[in-house]
Chains A and B, each alone.
Chain A
Amino acid sequence: MRFLSSSVGRKVLMAITGFFMLFFVTVHLLGNSSIFIGPGALNTYAEKLHSLGPLVWIFRGFMFLMLAVHVFFGIMLTLENSAANPSKYAIGRKLKATFASETMIWTGVLLLSFLVYHLLQFTVRVTPDIMPDAVANRPGDVYKMVLGSFRITTISLVYVAAMATLFLHLSHGIQSLFQTVGCSNDKTLPKVTMVGKLVSALFLVGYSAIPVLILAGILKN
Chain B
Amino acid sequence: MSGHSEHNTKTLKLIVWRQAGPDKPGRFETYTAKNITDHHSFLEMLDVVNEDLIKEGKEPIVFDHDCREGICGVCSQVVNGVPHGGHERTTVCQLHMRLFKDGDSIYIEPWRARAFPIIKDLMVDRGALDRIIQAGGYTSAHTGGSPDANAIPIPRHDAEYSMDAAECIGCGACVAGCPNGAAMLFTGAKVSQFAALPQGQVEAAERVANMLKEMQDCGFGNCTNHYECEAACPKGINVKFIARLNREYLKSLL
A interface list, Cβ under 8 A from B: 2-3, 6-12, 77, 80-81, 83-98, 101-102, 104, 172, 175-176, 178-186, 189
Binding site for A on B (CB under 8 A): 15, 28, 78, 80-82, 86, 107, 109, 112-115, 177-182, 209, 212-213, 215-216, 219-228, 230-232, 238-240, 242-250, 253
Q: How far is the CA of A8 from the CA of B225 in the complex (A)?
A: 12
For the complex with contacts A91-B80, A96-B230, 9 further pairs of A-B residues with Cβ separation under 8 Å are A8-B223, A10-B222, A83-B221, A84-B181, A85-B114, A91-B107, A102-B179, A102-B226, A179-B242
Chain A residue nearest to B176 (CB atoms) is: A89
Closest 7 CB pairs of A and B: A182-B247, A84-B221, A95-B231, A85-B181, A91-B81, A93-B81, A84-B181
Asked whether A97 and B243 contact (CB < 8 A) given A7-B212, A80-B221, A84-B182, the answer is: no
Contacts of A97 in B (CB 8 A): 179, 226-228
Contacts A85-B178, A85-B180, A179-B243; A11 near B222 (Cβ below 8 A): yes
Select one of B213, B226, B238, B240 contacting A101, CB under 8 A. Answer: B226
- Cα-based distance from A181 to B115 in the complex (angstroms): 25
Q: How far is the CA of A102 from the CA of B224 in the complex (A)?
A: 9
- Least CB separation from A172: chain B residue: B225
A8 touches B177 (CB 8 A): no
Chain A neighbourhood of B220, CB < 8 A: 84
Q: Which residues of B contact A9 (CB under 8 A)?
A: 249
Name 27 interchain pairs, CB-CB below 8 A, sorted by A. A6-B216, A6-B249, A8-B212, A8-B245, A8-B246, A81-B179, A81-B180, A81-B222, A83-B221, A84-B181, A85-B179, A85-B180, A89-B81, A90-B107, A95-B177, A95-B231, A95-B232, A96-B226, A96-B230, A96-B231, A101-B226, A179-B242, A180-B225, A181-B250, A182-B244, A182-B246, A189-B243
CA distance A6 to B223 in the complex (A): 12
Task: State whether B222 touches A77 (Cβ < 8 A).
Answer: yes
| Distance in Å: Cβ of A136 to nearest Cβ of chain B | 46
Chain B residues with CB under 8 Å of A172's CB are: 225
* B108 CB, min distance to chain A CBs, angstroms: 10
Contact indicator B228/A96 (Cβ below 8 Å): yes
A77 CB, nearest partner CB in chain B, Å: 5
User: Could you tell me the distance between the alpha carbons of A59 and B63 in the complex, rounded to whole angstroms?
Assistant: 58
Distance of A100 from chain B, by nearest CB (Å): 10
- A181 contacts which chain B residues (CB < 8 A)? 246-247, 250
Q: A184-B240, A189-B239 are in contact. Are A89 and B109 (CB under 8 A)?
A: yes
A84-B180 in contact (CB<8A): yes
**In the complex, what residue of chain A is closest to B249 when comparing beta carbons?**
A8
Shortest distance from the beta carbon of B34 to any chain A beta carbon, whole Å: 23
Contact A83 B114 (CB under 8 A): yes
Chain A residues within an 8 Å CB radius of B230: 96
- The residues of A that contact B86 with a CB separation of less than 8 Å are 93, 95
> Does the CB pair B182–A81 fall under 8 Å?
yes
Residue of A nearest to B78 (CB): A89
Q: How far is the CB of B59 from chain A (nearest CB, A)?
A: 21
A81 touches B250 (CB 8 A): no
Distance in Å: Cβ of B199 to nearest Cβ of chain A? 22
How far, in whole Å, are A12 and B225 apart by their CA atoms in the complex? Answer: 12
Closest to B106 in A: A91
- Contact of A176 with B244 in the complex, beta carbons under 8 Å: no
CB-CB under 8 A from B28, the residues of chain A are: 90
Q: Which B residues are in CB contact (< 8 Å) with A179? A: 225, 239, 242-243, 246
Report Cα–Cα, A88/B216, bound state, in Å: 21
Contact B224 A182 (CB under 8 A): no
Inter-chain CA distance A179–B238, complex, in Å, is 12
Within the assembled complex, what's the spacing in Å between the Cα atoms of A176 and B231? 17
Cα separation A91 to B227 with both chains bound (whole Å): 19
Docked pose: A94 CA to B80 CA in angstroms: 11
Name the B residues within 8 Å of A176 (CB-CB): 224-225
